Structure 1
Amino acid sequence: MTVRPRWGVTLPLTGVPLTAHRDLVKELPDLGYTDVWSAETAGTDAFTPLALAAEWSPGLRLGTAIVPVYTRGPGLLAMSAATLAELAPGRFVLGIGTSSPAIVEGWNGGDFAEPFRRVRDTVHFLRSALAGEKVTEEYGTFSVSKFRLERPPAVPPQVMLAALRPGMLRLAAQQADGAITNWLAPHDVAKVRAEVGADTELVARVFVCPTEDADAARGLGRLLISSYLTVPVYAAFHDWLGRGDVLRPMHEAWAAGDRAGANAAIPDSVVDELIVHGSPAECVEKVAAYQEAGLTTPVIAVLPTGDDPAEVVRALAPRR
């Protein structure tokens, strides 16, 4: 069965207090949004914004994109997921992934070891734990002894995996409920879709800068691209997508400590592929192009332009 296309937004919005999202979240379904997704780096945690959204708008699907598998113990991760699943039965998606060594080791004191196996083992544990089973298991990358949720959810959440390259994409298709990806252009979707098959839900965060000032959008885009795509997992992803040669000057400047040079080395064409910009109407058309290319669920991440972020989200509602 092919899942139907959806239209999501990343919350919380930059610069907007959590409680100030209430009116917008209540309005999202009427605007045509189906999903709210959170992230977890160094801002809010992934679960609290969704707990608020679950109360404010009971029709939205809620998802984490993503929660790192290393920064919570397995039991705590299951408890957090079960709590959201209780608040939003049948409409919560637990998106998990490896994150990056900077976040796992540099910020959280963890050990970024055997990422593929750790994600696979976490999926296996979560399937059992969220079903209410008592879990005692040696998984390889961690072990669990006599864990059982006191409040197993009546409807276990879907579990999706952050995936950038073939191995993890195939794991998402075979053992999870979908794949979550990031930093790709519409014409990249077909290559990613080929690894997961036609019937697997494919979610992607799409960075949107709704301004007709192309220079400003590209300037912000370059800062983001150099910060993200120099991370080894994203560098390998874009090598696989075919951008290795065009991004090589950026990587060389970054490795030499020349941040300004790295930004300058990113061609306009790459920024325009990876950052959606233009008028709000043009941005909606460009996001829709991802769906037309085979993406199930685009999740808009609104970049700051100086305009009211809530009004921007309203302007980026899907075509009717």
Structure 2
Amino acid sequence: MTQNWGMTIPFFDRSLAESKDVIAGLPDLGYTDIWSAEVNGTDAFVPLALAAEWARGARLGTAIVPVFTRGPGLLAQSAATLADLAPGRFVLGIGSSSPAIVERWNAVEFGKPYARTRDTLRFLRKALAGEKVSERYETFEVKGFKLERAPKEAPKIVLAALRPRMLHLAAAEADGAITNWLSPEDVRRVRAEIGSSTELIARIFVCVSEDADKVREMGRWMLASYLTVPAYAAFHDWLGRAEVLRPMHEAWAAGDRQAALKAIPDEVVDALIVHGDAATCKARVREYVDKGLDTPILAPIPGELPVPEAVRALAP
């Protein structure tokens, strides 16, 4: 597979409206991919709709769209729109997301996440191919849905997958797997679950800064907000970090956020967040590739360089 080198949009330190020039320059810097996300900032699709025009030629992907927060038909419509705007270069990344995002923020029951992701994948395969779908799945039923305008080329679909069961589904029925918050050494374990022919994609948080103490302080906040989510906690248990992260989980469960942050060891921050000067950061990202990652998606964290400068410095 040709080596990809991706960038996350929007950027941490500026709005989408302020990012046009930086996004437009990504292909000339050597970035092959532009990926969005969807948490509590921008939605996943609008940034890519703009990037389809601003950065022609780049592959565009969502990493990820939750399968609970849109109905199946609306999700197919959004994907079809992007596939029409960027023929052959849009990848739809979907996943279960988390109880906080699904239930607390969007008032939707977070039930049977594996089954809902599987069912949504199977529905989208048919819908994006232009088929009329009338089918009862385990987690929902669709009656007579057909896209008014199916894309000429159906987009690839990749799954957010952290542990073996979802990784196996991604390998068996999707076009790739997306993962997050892992070290280069962790890539081998994830790769072993999906085989060599399935594309493996990962978002990698990068801070171009030689102030390691400052990066670690900021990194602990980021890690605590993710690794206390049940799916990520189970992921890192599976990766072998159960004992080293136990003090953090115990302090977090007791409501002592400061103790939880202090309990995250330096070596865990250093394993999961890339930092150092630009050359060191790029070399670290290439370690992920050497261990079996096909598509690194860089997410620059503001450090000693403003994000536009970091984007240039991290270019392949």
Does the TM-score normalized on the shorter chain lie above 0.5?
yes
TM-score, normalised to structure 2's length?
Answer: 0.99
CA positional deviation for 1:26: 2.0
Is the counterpart of residue 156 in structure 1 residue 154 in structure 2? Answer: yes
Structure 2: unaligned runs, 5 residues or longer: none
Name 2:292's counterpart in structure 1: 294
2:135 to 113, 126, 137: 137
Instruction: Tell me, yes or no, if the aligned pair for 2:209 and 2:305 is still in contact at 8 Å.
Output: no
Q: Counterparts of 1:188 and 1:277 in 2: how far apart (Å)?
A: 17
Amino acid at match of 2:175: D
Moved beyond 6 Å, runs of 4+: none
Q: Counterparts of 1:49 and 1:188 in 2: how far apart (Å)?
A: 30
Is the counterpart of residue 243 in structure 1 residue 241 in structure 2? Answer: yes
Write the deviation string for residues 92-120 of structure 1: whole angstroms up to 9, x where unpaired: 00000000000000000001101111010
Q: What does 1:245-260 align with in structure 2 at a 5 Å threshold?
A: 245-260=243-258
2:194 to 193, 196, 201: 196
Name 1:234's counterpart in structure 2: 232
What do you get for the CA RMSD once the two structures are aligned? 0.8
Q: Counterparts of 2:217 and 2:93 in 1: how far apart (Å)?
A: 30
Amino acid at match of 1:219: E
1:119 to 97, 117, 133: 117
CA positional deviation for 1:312: 1.0
Q: Counterparts of 1:31 and 1:135 in 2: how far apart (Å)?
A: 42
Amino acid at match of 1:273: A
Q: Counterparts of 2:185 and 2:13 in 1: how far apart (Å)?
A: 32
Q: What does 1:33-182 align with in structure 2 at a 5 Å threshold?
A: 33-182=31-180
Secondary structure of 1:272 counterpart? helix
Write the deviation string for residues 17-58 of structure 1: whole angstroms up to 9, x where unpaired: 213222222211121100000000000000000000000111
Q: Counterparts of 2:290 and 2:252 in 1: how far apart (Å)?
A: 35
Aligned length: 316
Amino acid at match of 1:185: S
Q: Counterparts of 1:306 and 1:75 in 2: how far apart (Å)?
A: 44
Write the deviation string for residues 139-193 of structure 1: whole angstroms up to 9, x where unpaired: 1100101110011000100000000000000000000000000000000000000
Amino acid at match of 1:105: E
Amino acid at match of 1:220: M
Amino acid at match of 2:248: M
Is the counterpart of residue 277 in structure 1 residue 275 in structure 2? Answer: yes
CA positional deviation for 1:306: 5.8
Q: Counterparts of 1:4 and 1:253 in 2: how far apart (Å)?
A: 44
TM-score, normalised to structure 1's length?
Answer: 0.97
Secondary structure of 1:128 counterpart? helix
CA positional deviation for 1:72: 0.1
